[in-house]
Amino acid sequence: MPKIHPETKVLIIKRLKTRSTADVADTFNVSQRQVQRIKKRFEETGDVFDKPRSGRPRKTTAREDRLLARKSKASPCSTATELHETWSPEVPVSTRTVCRILSRNCLHGRISAQKPPLNKRELTVKRQNRVAFAKAHSLLKGWTLEKWQKVDFSDESSVELHHSLRKYCKRPTGARMDLRFIQKTVKFGGGKIMVWGYIQYGGVREICRVEGNINSLKYQEILATFYIPNHKRGQILQQDGAPSHTSISTSKFLKAKKIKMLQDWPAQSPDMNIIEHVWVRMKKEAWKTKPKNIDELWEACKTAFFAIPNDFINKLYESLPNRMDAVLQAHGSHTRY
């Protein structure tokens, strides 16, 4: 409700001598309740001015606060300092005041959720594929925890020597998965090491360092060395749709080795692949050692990978039925996982 200027309050008191509360409210475009409060204060104190308030008065107006909130919503990843430079209120304020004003407008500093981009042209197809996979592997289709326990999850991941993963944004409470506040991720880029690994229910299994790009032949060599010797009959291999994974030669190789595959894995779906959480944990622990070169980085990654507790892996498997349900609830869009 807008604040009424003291001069307007004086005019309201004068008009009330000859006119009704409703007429005065219409004349000055205020509510009848405001007119009644002004009248009551005048009768009790003899004036219409607000009583002195304790504490330091605010430096900014409500209009300036709204302008700051609009600027933050238009550019959610801008820092308080950057917003302060473009905001320019009449009274100079600190960046801490900027943060407090944004908090009062329910815009809090948070780390951006990282999800792969779903561009508009491909969005519909990708969502349909994710929904189709989630339906086919839901509890209604018999995909209980016991069945998921037979799936070996595998993936490649890049690990940078010098990392900068966190990106902050200002967003309302409960808007973590809003597309406006998500940090888009890409597959690989920059100087780093590449690793491949897989997990089973009960714990991590193998990890290896990959030199150069992964083509079909190199991928088959990785499987022959690190996966097939440990493969148990009845286990199912999960892999994403990378060209080296789905090529004709790789398909023939897996068929010859009698490796059963988890079919129709949807593209760009890290929230459905539980090994992504393993990579995140591994990288955090490896970076804590502050490796000086990529060889030290590899040793740190290997140590961190095999140190991951079995209970951590088992809880990831236990989340799979809920992950499928979350994809269906989101109609194929991003989920919280």
Q: Which two tokens stand for residue 105?
A: 């407008």
Q: Which two tokens stand for residue 165?
A: 């993963």
Q: Which amino acid is at 141?
A: K
- 73 & 184 share domain: no
d(CA 218, CA 247) in angstroms, rounded, equals 12
Overall domain count for the chain = 3
- 282 & 138 share domain: yes
- 27 & 126 share domain: no
d(CA 185, CA 195) in angstroms, rounded, equals 18
Crossing angle for the helix pair 120-136 and 320-329, to the nearest 10 degrees: 130
Q: What is the mean pLDDT of each run of 10 residues along the chain (337 residues)?
A: 78 89 89 89 80 74 84 80 74 80 79 62 83 95 96 95 65 70 52 92 96 93 96 94 94 96 90 95 94 93 97 97 95 87
Distant-in-sequence, close-in-space partners of 207: CB < 8 Å, separation ≥ 6: 195, 196, 197, 301, 302, 305, 306
Residue 323 located in a structural domain: yes
- The pLDDT value recorded for residue 115 is 59
- 73 & 149 share domain: no
- 178 & 207 share domain: yes
* Cβ-contact 114, 83 below 8 angstroms: no
Owning domain of residue 140: 120-329
- 136 & 165 share domain: yes
Q: Check which CATH number belongs to the domain holding 82 and give it.
A: 1.10.10
- The pLDDT value recorded for residue 122 is 67
- 163 & 78 share domain: no
Domain end marker among 54, 76, 105: 105
For tokens 């595959």, the residue is: 261
d(CA 95, CA 113) in angstroms, rounded, equals 24
- The pLDDT value recorded for residue 94 is 82
Global pTM exceeds 0.85: no
Helices and strands: H and E segment counts in the chain? 15, 9
Residue 52 located in a structural domain: no
d(CA 141, CA 70) in angstroms, rounded, equals 47
Cα dihedral 87, 92, 95, 96, rounded to 10, equals: -130
> Both ends of the chain: CA-CA distance in Å?
41
- The pLDDT value recorded for residue 96 is 83
Helices marked H in the chain: 6-16, 21-27, 32-45, 62-74, 80-87, 95-104, 120-136, 145-148, 216-222, 243-246, 248-256, 275-288, 294-306, 310-318, 320-329
- The pLDDT value recorded for residue 99 is 82
